[in-house]
């Protein structure tokens, strides 16, 4: 890493800046010199075939993976490290937890706590981690449940909710931590087709409310409508990126064209 790599982003810089990131699993290069910036309020959809590195990229942003090379900045902080002049110190576990709170992650499988109601799933993080008074956390959780259309399901357990409802609770749970950016990893791909729309509707509202979002998705219609930018990945590299109207409608690269044709069928 050079001094230039460690130059703090200036004001007005992107909220998220991924710079020349390489991630290997043993000898396998899952991300190869990937750079991507996301501005505040921007919605970026990440598309690409299986194994292209989409999940790995989200996990690196959220520090669920260490990176082998490059830097990631979230706001004006270097992800995973504390910087002192030109020296870098890995974050302590406590610092990592604090930094991870800046990004909310929603997974393909909803990962709700099965023994907790929808409301408890949403209040658990604020109460335990942020030390929000329970009453305040519950009031916020009720507002979030309303926002995702589930005000009547506050006391339901995950097993009593449909997949689409569970995913909407998972989104509300992530929002309850007040993240700066939301990362979605194929949030609708485990759902029955008739339940996809209700989750996309919640994500659309979130996008319109100004939330900064990186969304891994195969829902190209959603990407076309909501994304400010679409990024196509293949074999660990970003092949092409640009406005949805360009990348999805008239892609420059043959690999992007082939992928889009295969998804559209």
Per rule CB under 5 A, count of chain residues that contact Mg ion: 1
Per rule CB under 6 A, count of chain residues that contact ligand ATP: 11
Check binding of 239 to ligand ATP (CB under 6 A).
Answer: no
Alpha-carbon distance of 156 to 162, in angstroms, equals 11
Residue 243 touches which of Mg ion, ligand ATP, none (CB < 5 to 8 A by kind)?
Answer: none
User: Between residue 56 and residue 115, which ones bind ligand ATP under the rule CB under 6 A?
Assistant: 56
Task: List the one residue out of 180, 187, 192 whose CA is nearest residue 204.
Answer: 187
User: Between residue 4 and residue 63, which ones bind ligand ATP under the rule CB under 6 A?
Assistant: 25, 28, 30, 48, 50-56
- Minimum distance of ligand ATP from residue 49's CB (angstroms): 7
Residue 52 touches which of ligand ATP, Mg ion, none (CB < 5 to 8 A by kind)?
Answer: ligand ATP
- Minimum distance of ligand ATP from residue 57's CB (angstroms): 7
Residues 37-76, mask of contacts with Mg ion (x by CB under 5 A): ------------------x---------------------
For 148-172, letters b (16+ CB in 10 Å) and e give bbbeebbebbbeebebbbbbbbbbb
Q: Which is nearer to ligand ATP, 56 or 165 (CB)?
A: 56
Q: Which helix (H) or strand (E) holds 73?
A: strand 69-74
Radius of gyration, CA atoms only, the chain: 19
DSSP string of 175-239, one letter each residue: HTT--SEEEEESTTTTS-HHHHHHHHHHHHHHHHTT-EEEEE-S-HHHHHHH-SEEEEEETTEEE
For 9-44, letters b (16+ CB in 10 Å) and e give beeeebbbbbbebbbeeeeebbbbebebbbeeebbb
Q: Which is nearer to ligand ATP, 190 or 201 (CB)?
A: 190
Q: Which is nearer to Mg ion, 48 or 125 (CB)?
A: 48
The binding site for Mg ion (CB under 5 A) comprises: 55
Judged by the rule CB under 6 A, the positions of this chain that interact with ligand ATP are 25, 28, 30, 48, 50-56
């Amino acid at each position: 890493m050079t001094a230039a790599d460690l130059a703090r982003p200036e004001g007005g810089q992107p909220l998220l800046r991924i710079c020349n990131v390489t991630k290997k699993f043993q000898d396998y290069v899952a991300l190869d010199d990937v750079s991507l910036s996301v501005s505040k309020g921007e919605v970026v959809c990440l598309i690409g075939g299986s194994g292209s590195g989409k999940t790995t990229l989200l996990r690196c942003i959220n520090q669920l993976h260490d990176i082998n090379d490059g830097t990631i900045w979230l706001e004006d902080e270097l992800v995973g490290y504390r910087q002192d002049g030109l020296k870098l110190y890995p974050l302590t576990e406590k610092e990592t937890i604090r930094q991870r709170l800046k990004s909310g992650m929603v997974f393909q499988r909803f990962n709700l706590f099965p023994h907790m109601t929808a409301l408890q799933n949403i209040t658990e993080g604020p109460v335990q981690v942020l030390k929000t008074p329970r009453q305040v956390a519950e009031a916020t959780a009720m507002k979030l449940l309303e926002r995702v259309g589930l005000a009547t399901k506050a006391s339901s357990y995950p097993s009593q909710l449909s997949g689409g409802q569970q995913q909407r609770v998972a989104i509300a749970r992530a929002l309850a931590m007040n993240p700066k950016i939301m990362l979605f990893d194929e949030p609708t791909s485990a759902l029955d087709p008739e339940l996809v729309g209700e989750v996309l509707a919640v994500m659309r509202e979130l996008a319109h409310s100004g939330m900064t979002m990186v969304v891994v998705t195969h829902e190209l219609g959603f990407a076309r409508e909501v994304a400010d930018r679409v990024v196509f990945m293949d074999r660990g590299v970003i092949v092409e990126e640009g406005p949805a109207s360009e990348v999805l409608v008239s892609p420059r690269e043959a690999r992007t064209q082939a992928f889009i044709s295969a998804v559209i069928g």
